[in-house]
Chain A
């Protein structure tokens, strides 16, 4: 009970900090939104060459990719920002576990991300002819929470890699782009070469994306598709936390945690 209370307190504190920080970066937020919008415009007209059905297929791929990318990179970005601003030692000297501090900051950013997603969905409905029922919107809300929780182990692992190898952005972008391609964000996995299809079937992201498209485009809620990603998420979460703790202890001992 005390743990939950502390997490809520930390989330609230980070939310305050993020709101204040956002106030200094209003222009960045507008540009970020415009970038997202322009990206959909490009895909919309590209898809019109193929078919309108393809745009719907691609749109939900992009929706998934947006959530996955946020989940994968936010914790890494958080630690990077703390390194840049040289606040990391001060933040880590708070009377809470380092991972609890980082994940609280992550959850505070998730609240902002939900607003971003709402704008993304609104734009798609208003300008790109995407039809979503009220039930679909509620479903997308819970689906987003599921992705964030299922891939918490992935984001913690990437965070460990970031503090260990330093300047890991390109590695993370490469990894996420490969996962996007292999999971079928842009095209069905059936068009991939046979060997890549085998890799695709091993990725939990493929099943989660398939579940989304089946649910929203065909109203088929095949929950069995989520068994494999959920098991992977549960198994790897304690492993990723252990990995993070080992690396963090080592870096704190060496004094290299603040180095970017």
Chain B
């Protein structure tokens, strides 16, 4: 999904999270460690439409964790975020992998981030797997 959309634009970041927490019968406190990790609490009262792309990306990561997933699919998530946000996302991805045992399918064109984050690598060229490590 495009990270620029998907949440109610007039509602604040916190209100959007509470709404989806209610849908999944969760309390916002349960996801607070991730909110804290991605430093989102400072943007709690800002409407979604006014958030920057980086914050929206971080919100999407937290949102995906509300669902208690076993696998997370990430498609070029860091392409429009600043260096600081990138580092925060990398840290969280590593923690999700090691601490929470989640499987993450990470799609990217950036070989540096792939090498630093991934345990396994599949290179796709012309719709074919050309390299598997």
Contact = CB atoms under 8 A, between A and B. Distances in A.
Contacts of B6: 86-87, 89-90
A173 interface: no
A87 B10 contact: no
Contact of B23 (A13, A85, A86): A13
Interface string A86-97: 110110011100
B18 A89 contact: no
A32 interface: no
Interface centre among B2, B8, B9, B10 (most CB of A within 10 A): B8
B22 A85 contact: no
Contacts, number: 41
Nearest to A258: B5
B90 interface: no
B1 interface: yes
Given A17-B8, A21-B8, A21-B11, A89 B22 contact: no
B106 interface: no
A20 B15 contact: yes
A250 B11 CA distance: 31
Contact of B19 (A16, A24, A85): A16
B18 A16 contact: yes
Contact of A87 (B5, B22, B25): B5
Interface in A53-99: 85-87, 89-90, 93-95
Given A20-B15, A86-B5, A10 B23 contact: yes
B7 interface: yes
Nearest to B6: A90
Interface in B12-70: 15, 18-19, 22-23, 25, 67
B interface, over-half SS: loop
Interface residues of B, number: 16
A130 B13 CA distance: 46
Interface residues of A, number: 17
A256 interface: no
A16 B9 CA distance: 15
A90 B22 contact: no
Nearest to A21: B10
B5 A13 contact: no
Interface in B50-107: 67
B23 A94 contact: yes
Nearest to B47: A24
A85 B47 CA distance: 13
A167 interface: no
Interface string A101-140: 0000000000000000000000000000000000000000
A89 B1 contact: yes
A16 B8 CA distance: 12
A129 to B, nearest CB: 40
Contacts of A95: 67
Interface of A: 9-10, 12-13, 16-17, 20-21, 24, 85-87, 89-90, 93-95
16 contacts: A9-B23, A9-B25, A10-B23, A13-B23, A16-B19, A17-B19, A20-B11, A20-B15, A20-B19, A85-B5, A86-B5, A86-B6, A87-B6, A89-B6, A90-B5, A90-B7
Given A21-B10, A85-B5, A86-B5, 20 more contacts: A9-B22, A13-B19, A13-B22, A13-B23, A16-B18, A16-B19, A16-B22, A17-B8, A17-B15, A17-B19, A21-B8, A24-B10, A85-B8, A85-B9, A86-B6, A87-B5, A87-B6, A90-B6, A93-B1, A95-B67
